[in-house]
Amino acid sequence: MTRMGSIGGIEYKGSENNQFKLIAKTVYGLEEVLAKEIEQLGGQNIEILQRAVMFTGTMEIVYKTNYCCRTALSILKPIVEFQAQNEQELYKKVSEIKWEQILDVDGSFLIESTLNSRFFSHSLYIAQKTKDAIVDRFRKMFNRRPTIRMENPDFRINIHIYDDKVTLSLNSSGDSLHKRGYRVETAIAPINEVLAAGLIQLSGWRRDTNFIDPMCGAGTILIEAAMFANSIPAQYYRKSFGFKKWKEYNVAEWKRIKEAADSQMQEFDFLIWGSDIDKKALEIARKNLAFAKLHKEVELFHASIENQMPPEGECMVIMNPPYGERINPEDLNALYTKMGNTFKHNYGEGKTVWVISSDFTALKHIGLKTSKKIVLYNGQLECRFMRYDMYSGSKKGSKFVEHPA
């Protein structure tokens, strides 16, 4: 249970039994998926927010959620809360915090700010004032100050203001957790890794059927599917985390948590197939898969959508087709019509197809009845994640037809 203590009118986050409040940020629409992940890892007092999940845990939970949560963007540890209605009040209360107990005068930090307030309107200005308050305190105490570093700072400090309520948090993740570390190269408009992992979880796939992405691009959905299928931790390929700079960081405990998670990796007994009409994108997918040592788990094909034939038996199909950002509406509608026809004629009993798109008009051109619709955001784009259950169709063949050179 969280305990609050007051120093100079500022509420500091304490803890009981080594438990403290944590906030995991995520993509809109994945909150419940993330909450379930956190619960399975041992997080307590879970509360679902918008684009976030609040919970309590120990440093062990900080390590587990950072390393294993597939749908978290960052794990924040709130350290102080107070009220402020103007910049002078904000500056004064930030400067009263004992930053010397958190930051090293010879270290570096970065301020990240988010606002939803009638008293404050410019997030960059608020970040600047917060930075000034911190460095001015160090100057007065040591005649020196930490440096500001935009890339790889020792500490990322998050300031969140809702109306007049200010919360300052330490970002235990460092860089966003969507940066898994397996991307050697990227194609045009790649899907966010956290969103890709979330699509897989929302689909209900339980690693007990084949998996297909018919428009795989650089292979993000395929890699996330292969990692999930083989129980590879979400951050298996990542080396850097913000909590490694914290004073309470315990190397032995982190190593124990990591080794325990890695020991759960297993073999996958079904097929994972990907296809795309873009040869360059497929080459990037091959490089990313090879770097992640998943090239033997995933088979890639060069084929257009209408020439694709899924394997026999049950299949989970998830695809992220173009949304129209670089394709005119008429061509986009024709593409989605072609997708619908392919699903109808080439995909038979036992095939479950999921499509995510922000173009709601184009989605109608798929022409099939949906069994489920989920609202998600891909960046700033409001999307629909649509499920189509296939009951009939041609079953001839069991391979994608290679697209002619």
Q: What is the pLDDT of residues 146-178, one digit of tens each?
A: 999 999 999 999 999 999 999 999 999 999 999
What single DSSP character describes residue 99? G
Which pLDDT value is given to residue 286? Answer: 96
Contact 277, 304 (CB under 8 A): yes
Residue 393 has pLDDT above 70, yes or no: no
Per-residue pLDDT reduced to its tens digit, 239-257? 999 999 999 999 999 999 9
Distance from chain centroid for Cα 27 = 7
Contact call for residues 155 and 242 (beta carbons, < 8 A): yes
What region does 325 belong to: left with phi over 0, alpha with psi -120 to 50, or beta?
alpha
Which pair of structure tokens corresponds to residue 43? 């997080």
What DSSP line would sit under 48-93, residue for residue?
EETTEEEEEE-HHHHHHHHHH-SS-SEEEEEEEEEE-SSHHHHHHH
Q: How high does pLDDT run on average in the chain?
A: 91
Lookup: tokens for 240: 């850097």
* pLDDT (0 to 100) of residue 254: 98
Rounded to 10°, the helix 31-41/59-68 angle is 130
What is the per-residue pLDDT across 184-242, written as a single tens digit (0 to 9) for each?
887 777 899 999 999 999 999 999 999 999 999 999 999 999 999 999 999 999 999 99
Do 363 and 386 meet the contact criterion of CB atoms below 8 Å apart? yes
Geometric angle at alpha carbon 28, from 25 and 34, rounded to 5°: 50
Report strand pairing: 74-83 vs 165-171.
antiparallel
Contacts for 95 with CB less than 8 Å, ≥ 6 apart: 133, 134, 136, 137
Residue 145 has pLDDT above 50, yes or no: yes
The residue type of 62 is V
- Given this model, what pLDDT does residue 31 score? 98
At position 166, the amino acid (one-letter code) is V
Q: Which residue has the tokens 């020439």?
A: 307
- State the Cα–Cα distance between residues 73 and 78, nearest whole angstrom: 16
- How do 315-319 and 210-213 pair as beta strands? parallel
Find the largest Cα–Cα distance for the chain. 77
Q: How does pLDDT run across 94-110, given as a tens digit for each residue?
A: 999 999 999 999 999 99
Q: Write out the DSSP string of 230-267.
A: TT--TTTT----GGGGSTT--HHHHHHHHHHHHTT---
Write down the residue that tokens 């120093």 correspond to.
Answer: 7
Measured distance CA(67)–CA(236) in Å, rounded:
7
> How many residues are recorded in the chain?
405
For residues 14 and 7, give the distance between their C-alpha atoms in angstroms, rounded to a whole number: 12
| pLDDT beyond 70 at 14 | no
CA 319 – CA 219 distance, rounded (Å): 11
Q: Measured between alpha carbons, how far is 362 from 132 in angstroms, rounded to an integer?
A: 49
* Cα–Cα distance, 127 to 41 (Å, whole number): 33
Weakest-pLDDT range from 40-54, 136-150, 382-396: 382-396
**pLDDT tens-digit profile of 327-368?**
676 799 999 999 999 999 999 888 999 999 999 999 999 999
Q: What is the pLDDT of residue 392?
A: 58
H helices present in 98-217, as ranges: 123-142, 193-203
For 162-171, 216-225, 308-317, 382-391, which range has the lowest pLDDT when averaged over its residues?
A: 308-317
As beta bridge partners, residue 25 has 52, 74
Q: What is the pLDDT of residue 311?
A: 86
* CA-closest candidate to residue 30, choices 195, 151, 207: 195
Q: What is the pLDDT of residue 256?
A: 98
Contact present, 343 and 306 (Cβ < 8 Å): no
> Residue 58: its pLDDT value, please?
97
CB atoms within 10 A of CB 278: 16
